[in-house]
Amino acid sequence: MEVIRLLEGFAAALDGRLHLHLRRPRRCMAACYEGGAFYTPHRDNDLDPSTGELKNRRALTAIFYANDPDWTIEQGGALRCHPNVGPAAGSAQPLKPSQEVPMPEAAGAVDILPSGGRVVLFDSRRLLHEVLPAKDRRWAISVWFVTEDASAA
């Protein structure tokens, strides 16, 4: 599939510079949000508070949006990123979700519209993010690149 190859290309280019030892996953996900669907703030990989270990092996999230390229802010569905919250990865004392979820307009939140053709890459273990309610049907194809050793990189 062309989209997956595209995302793999971006991941490989990043790996070439950052030496994350990324591995191609076996699966990808096509997600369709409809009728005001949203996704609350989360990390794609996080520390399990009970064990202090990362919950999975996801290291890099890569998303391709398969929507109208002229998606507008009125259509909702932005990917809201909170780069100034956290990071959880590697932290001995992860914040509790109730402590770390900022107010919507909290310092430094960045909204990315899911415009068709747009590709977003981010650190699965660090970036707190959410999907705002989408008024129109919203497609996203996601690939989570993993590392052999979750503690690596």
How many chain residues touch Fe ion (CB under 5 A)? 1
Which residue lies nearer to ligand AKG by CB, 93 or 109?
109
Task: Single out the residue of 22, 25, 44, 76 in contact with Fe ion (rule: CB under 5 A).
Answer: 44
> Closest Cα to residue 77, out of 141, 10, 148, 131?
131
Q: Which two structure tokens, joined as six digits, stand for 85?
A: 């919250």
Q: What angle do CA 93, 98, 99 make, to 5 degrees?
A: 55
Q: What angle do CA 81, 27, 14 make, to 5 degrees?
A: 55
Pair 138, 32: CB distance under 8 Å: yes
Question: Site residues (CB under 6 A) for ligand AKG?
Answer: 31, 39, 44, 63, 79, 114, 129, 131, 140, 142
* Residue 46 binding Fe ion, by CB under 5 A: no
Which residue lies nearer to ligand AKG by CB, 10 or 39?
39
Query: Candidates 16-24, 36-44, 93-101, 145-153 — which segment interacts with Fe ion by CB under 5 A?
Result: 36-44
Contact residues toward Fe ion (CB under 5 A) are 44
